[in-house]
């Protein structure tokens, strides 16, 4: 049974990567959505109008993921963050963030697998996604490490402030923008700091890539806009009139996303941070 599951898993992944590449090509061949039309007509957030924001109440389930928490805070996912089907998560992140259907299947399926549930029939609570060293990992930008703060549901506002202050770029309207080098530098500093403060700190290639991937959504779907990232990372709330900055017809494919994730991770240089701290 175990081997059959593994073989099926390999086939599913190969299928998803081939599908993703096709969508990548289709995005080049088809016109993008017009501004203001990215979120589909029947979905929450259509025409730049998001359902009301209500902060989590005691007993609500929240995860280490700011964007999924925001969806629950706006009632796009159940406000209590509980009993969500993996299939519904797929549909909702597709509609809300214009991620390609490949990503929207791949990540919830990955989550179902690490929770030992069925993607097709089972449900989860948001807090369960924070299982340590599944996707959640040490050295993240918006949460202290799980060994220090076991409840990963709330952002660490000090860390978020440090991240937002790294922005050196400028948006078209003159407001601050987080760039690829800014994000690499923020990740470098955070990994060095986490290693110092958490005696149980762990790091591997796989989780570093997860870290770069999670945070690269800030550059792609949010265009690095500090004005949009501030409410999202501090209150886990969509800014007024927000819509995904990726307007491709078939959404942000994994292939295209890698064009941001790889330079972000390659730009991480923890040695230069340690050296600079030594000289200071």
> Between residues 7 and 149, which has the closer beta carbon with respect to ligand HEM?
149
**Could you say whether residue 64 binds ligand HEM (CB under 6 A)?**
yes
Q: Should residue 184 be labelled a site residue for ligand HEM when binding is judged by CB under 6 A? A: no
The percent helix, strand, coil of the chain (3-state, each to 5) is 50, 5, 45
By CB under 6 A, tell whether 142 contacts ligand HEM.
yes
Nearer to ligand HEM, 27 or 214 (CB): 214
**One of 61, 102, 140, 225 touching ligand HEM (CB under 6 A):** 140
Q: Verify binding: residue 143, ligand HEM, rule CB under 6 A.
A: yes
Interatomic CA distance for residues 65 and 161, integer angstroms: 17
Q: Is 50 in the site for ligand HEM (CB under 6 A)?
A: no
* Look-up of token digits 């290639």: 205
Does position 153 interact with ligand HEM (CB under 6 A)? The reply is no
When CB distances to ligand HEM are compared, the closest residue is: 140
Q: Which lies closer to ligand HEM via its Cβ, residue 121 or residue 275?
A: 121
Q: How far apart are CA 83 and CA 122, in angstroms?
A: 9
Contact partners, residue 131, CB within 8 Å, separation at least 6: 114, 115
- Number of C-beta neighbours around residue 35 at 10 A: 10
Q: What distances in angstroms separate CA 224 from CA 61, 129, 168, 255, one per listed residue? A: 28, 25, 10, 19
CB 6 to ligand HEM: min, Å: 21
Q: How far is CA 229 from the centre of its chain?
A: 12
Distance of CA 268 to the CA centre of its chain: 18
66 forms part of the interface with ligand HEM (CB under 6 A): yes
Tell which one of 38, 72, 112, 141 touches ligand HEM (CB under 6 A). Answer: 141
Tell me the closest approach of the beta carbon of residue 143 to ligand HEM, in angstroms: 6
Q: How many CA atoms lie within 13 A of 15 on its CB side?
A: 9
What is the chain's Cα-based Rg? 19
Q: Is 74 in the site for ligand HEM (CB under 6 A)?
A: no
Sites of contact with ligand HEM (CB under 6 A) = 63-68, 89, 93, 97, 99, 107-108, 111, 129-130, 135-137, 140-143, 211, 214-215, 217-218, 221
């Amino acid at each position: 049974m175990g081997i059959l599951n593994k073989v099926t898993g390999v086939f599913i992944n190969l299928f998803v990567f081939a599908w993703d590449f096709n969508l990548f090509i289709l995005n080049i061949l088809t016109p993008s959505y017009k501004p203001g039309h990215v979120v589909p007509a029947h979905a929450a957030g259509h025409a730049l109008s998001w359902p009301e924001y209500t902060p989590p109440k005691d007993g609500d389930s929240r995860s280490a993921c700011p964007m999924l928490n925001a969806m629950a805070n706006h009632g796009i996912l159940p406000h209590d963050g509980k009993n969500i089907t993996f299939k519904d998560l797929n549909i909702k992140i597709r509609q809300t963030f214009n991620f390609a259907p490949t990503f929207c299947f791949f990540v919830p399926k990955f989550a179902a697998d690490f929770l030992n549930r069925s993607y097709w029939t089972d449900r989860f609570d948001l807090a369960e996604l924070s299982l340590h060293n599944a996707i959640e990992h040490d050295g993240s930008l918006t949460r202290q490490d799980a060994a220090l703060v076991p409840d990963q549901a709330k952002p660490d506002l000090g860390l978020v402030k440090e991240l937002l202050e790294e922005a050196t770029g400028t948006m078209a309207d003159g407001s601050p923008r987080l760039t690829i080098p800014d994000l690499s530098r923020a990740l470098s500093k955070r990994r060095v700091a986490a290693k110092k403060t958490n005696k149980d700190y762990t790091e591997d290639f796989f989780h570093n890539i997860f870290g770069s991937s999670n945070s690269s959504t800030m550059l792609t779907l949010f265009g690095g806009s500090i004005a949009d990232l501030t409410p999202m990372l501090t209150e886990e709330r969509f800014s007024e009139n927000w819509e995904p900055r990726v307007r491709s017809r078939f959404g942000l494919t994994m292939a295209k996303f890698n064009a941001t994730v790889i330079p972000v991770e390659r730009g991480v240089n923890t040695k230069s941070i340690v050296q600079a701290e030594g000289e200071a």
